[in-house]
Amino acid sequence: MAIKALIVSFITSIIAVGCVAFPEDGYDSRGYGQPVYRDYGYGQRYDPRYDRNNDRQRWERERAYRLQQMRIEQERRQKNWDKQRWQYEQAKRDQMKKQQWEQHRKDWNNKSNRDHRWDNRPDQKQWQQRDRQNQQQQRDKRRDERKNRDHNKD
Protein backbone atom coordinates (compact mmCIF):
# COMPACT_ATOMS: atom_id res chain seq x y z
CA MET A 1 0.00 0.00 0.00
CA ALA A 2 2.83 2.34 0.76
CA ILE A 3 4.39 1.54 -2.59
CA LYS A 4 1.16 2.45 -4.35
CA ALA A 5 1.02 5.78 -2.50
CA LEU A 6 4.63 6.54 -3.48
CA ILE A 7 3.97 5.71 -7.16
CA VAL A 8 0.81 7.85 -7.26
CA SER A 9 2.58 10.82 -5.63
CA PHE A 10 5.56 10.41 -7.98
CA ILE A 11 3.33 10.34 -11.08
CA THR A 12 1.34 13.32 -9.78
CA SER A 13 4.50 15.36 -9.27
CA ILE A 14 5.76 14.54 -12.77
CA ILE A 15 2.45 15.59 -14.30
CA ALA A 16 2.36 18.81 -12.27
CA VAL A 17 5.96 19.70 -13.14
CA GLY A 18 5.36 18.85 -16.78
CA CYS A 19 2.39 21.21 -16.95
CA VAL A 20 4.45 24.03 -15.47
CA ALA A 21 7.48 23.24 -17.59
CA PHE A 22 5.51 23.05 -20.86
CA PRO A 23 2.73 25.63 -20.68
CA GLU A 24 0.35 25.93 -23.60
CA ASP A 25 -0.25 29.66 -23.43
CA GLY A 26 2.17 30.53 -26.23
CA TYR A 27 5.37 31.50 -24.45
CA ASP A 28 8.22 30.01 -22.50
CA SER A 29 10.78 31.65 -20.29
CA ARG A 30 13.83 29.77 -21.65
CA GLY A 31 15.28 29.92 -18.22
CA TYR A 32 15.95 33.68 -18.13
CA GLY A 33 12.73 34.79 -16.50
CA GLN A 34 11.68 36.83 -19.51
CA PRO A 35 8.80 35.27 -21.43
CA VAL A 36 9.40 34.73 -25.12
CA TYR A 37 6.15 34.76 -27.08
CA ARG A 38 5.92 32.34 -29.92
CA ASP A 39 4.76 33.78 -33.22
CA TYR A 40 3.88 30.44 -34.79
CA GLY A 41 5.47 31.38 -38.09
CA TYR A 42 4.23 34.98 -38.24
CA GLY A 43 7.40 37.03 -38.23
CA GLN A 44 7.93 40.73 -38.68
CA ARG A 45 7.68 40.31 -42.41
CA TYR A 46 4.22 38.73 -42.13
CA ASP A 47 1.70 40.18 -44.61
CA PRO A 48 -1.91 39.72 -43.43
CA ARG A 49 -3.19 39.79 -47.03
CA TYR A 50 -2.05 36.20 -47.35
CA ASP A 51 -3.89 35.00 -44.31
CA ARG A 52 -6.63 32.79 -45.68
CA ASN A 53 -8.83 33.23 -42.65
CA ASN A 54 -8.83 36.98 -43.04
CA ASP A 55 -9.45 36.61 -46.78
CA ARG A 56 -12.40 34.33 -46.14
CA GLN A 57 -13.89 36.63 -43.48
CA ARG A 58 -13.39 39.71 -45.65
CA TRP A 59 -14.94 37.91 -48.63
CA GLU A 60 -17.94 36.88 -46.51
CA ARG A 61 -18.38 40.44 -45.20
CA GLU A 62 -18.21 41.88 -48.69
CA ARG A 63 -20.62 39.25 -50.00
CA ALA A 64 -23.06 39.94 -47.16
CA TYR A 65 -22.82 43.68 -47.88
CA ARG A 66 -23.40 43.15 -51.62
CA LEU A 67 -26.37 40.88 -50.92
CA GLN A 68 -27.82 43.43 -48.52
CA GLN A 69 -27.39 46.23 -51.07
CA MET A 70 -28.96 44.08 -53.80
CA ARG A 71 -31.91 43.25 -51.52
CA ILE A 72 -32.41 46.93 -50.68
CA GLU A 73 -32.25 47.88 -54.37
CA GLN A 74 -34.69 45.10 -55.27
CA GLU A 75 -37.12 46.24 -52.57
CA ARG A 76 -36.86 49.82 -53.83
CA ARG A 77 -37.58 48.71 -57.39
CA GLN A 78 -40.48 46.53 -56.21
CA LYS A 79 -42.00 49.45 -54.28
CA ASN A 80 -41.56 51.74 -57.28
CA TRP A 81 -43.17 49.15 -59.59
CA ASP A 82 -46.03 48.60 -57.12
CA LYS A 83 -46.61 52.36 -56.91
CA GLN A 84 -46.65 52.74 -60.70
CA ARG A 85 -48.99 49.75 -61.04
CA TRP A 86 -51.34 51.18 -58.40
CA GLN A 87 -51.36 54.57 -60.15
CA TYR A 88 -52.08 52.90 -63.50
CA GLU A 89 -54.93 50.85 -62.03
CA GLN A 90 -56.30 53.90 -60.22
CA ALA A 91 -56.30 55.90 -63.46
CA LYS A 92 -57.99 53.00 -65.24
CA ARG A 93 -60.66 52.76 -62.51
CA ASP A 94 -61.24 56.51 -62.69
CA GLN A 95 -61.58 56.34 -66.46
CA MET A 96 -64.03 53.43 -66.20
CA LYS A 97 -66.11 55.32 -63.63
CA LYS A 98 -66.15 58.38 -65.87
CA GLN A 99 -67.22 56.32 -68.86
CA GLN A 100 -69.94 54.60 -66.83
CA TRP A 101 -71.15 57.96 -65.58
CA GLU A 102 -71.22 59.39 -69.10
CA GLN A 103 -73.07 56.34 -70.38
CA HIS A 104 -75.54 56.57 -67.50
CA ARG A 105 -76.08 60.27 -68.24
CA LYS A 106 -76.64 59.57 -71.95
CA ASP A 107 -79.04 56.73 -71.16
CA TRP A 108 -80.93 58.96 -68.76
CA ASN A 109 -81.19 61.74 -71.35
CA ASN A 110 -82.38 59.28 -74.00
CA LYS A 111 -84.90 57.77 -71.64
CA SER A 112 -86.23 61.15 -70.59
CA ASN A 113 -86.53 62.17 -74.26
CA ARG A 114 -88.54 59.05 -75.04
CA ASP A 115 -90.59 59.20 -71.89
CA HIS A 116 -93.28 61.73 -72.80
CA ARG A 117 -95.04 61.76 -69.50
CA TRP A 118 -92.31 64.02 -68.19
CA ASP A 119 -93.03 66.50 -70.91
CA ASN A 120 -95.90 68.96 -70.63
CA ARG A 121 -97.60 67.35 -73.61
CA PRO A 122 -101.10 65.95 -73.62
CA ASP A 123 -101.78 62.36 -74.43
CA GLN A 124 -99.55 60.88 -77.15
CA LYS A 125 -102.38 60.26 -79.61
CA GLN A 126 -103.57 63.80 -79.24
CA TRP A 127 -100.06 65.05 -79.83
CA GLN A 128 -99.72 62.98 -82.98
CA GLN A 129 -103.06 64.29 -84.19
CA ARG A 130 -101.88 67.85 -83.57
CA ASP A 131 -98.70 67.13 -85.51
CA ARG A 132 -100.74 65.82 -88.42
CA GLN A 133 -103.03 68.82 -88.25
CA ASN A 134 -100.05 71.21 -88.22
CA GLN A 135 -98.51 69.43 -91.19
CA GLN A 136 -101.79 69.55 -93.05
CA GLN A 137 -102.17 73.23 -92.28
CA GLN A 138 -98.66 73.93 -93.59
CA ARG A 139 -99.40 72.03 -96.81
CA ASP A 140 -102.62 73.96 -97.23
CA LYS A 141 -100.79 77.23 -96.70
CA ARG A 142 -98.19 76.37 -99.33
CA ARG A 143 -100.85 75.28 -101.76
CA ASP A 144 -102.77 78.52 -101.20
CA GLU A 145 -99.59 80.51 -101.67
CA ARG A 146 -98.92 78.76 -104.99
CA LYS A 147 -102.42 79.41 -106.13
CA ASN A 148 -102.08 83.06 -105.22
CA ARG A 149 -98.83 83.28 -107.14
CA ASP A 150 -100.32 81.60 -110.15
CA HIS A 151 -103.31 83.97 -110.07
CA ASN A 152 -101.07 86.97 -109.65
CA LYS A 153 -99.01 86.00 -112.67
CA ASP A 154 -102.03 85.89 -114.90
| pLDDT above 90: residue 137 | yes
SS3 at position 36: strand
> pLDDT tens-digit profile of 60-119?
999 999 999 999 999 999 999 999 999 999 999 999 999 999 998 888 877 766 555 555
Residue 122 and residue 129 in contact, taking contact as beta carbons nearer than 8 Å: no
Task: Return the minimum-mean-pLDDT range out of 12-21, 37-46, 48-57, 128-137.
Answer: 37-46
For residue 37, the 8-state DSSP code is E
Q: What is the pTM of this model?
A: 0.35
Q: Does the structure show a pLDDT above 90 at 50? A: no
Closest CA to 24 of 5, 38, 7: 38
CB 37 within 8 A of CB 26: yes
Do 35 and 28 touch, CB atoms closer than 8 A? Answer: yes
Q: Residue 5 has what pLDDT? A: 85
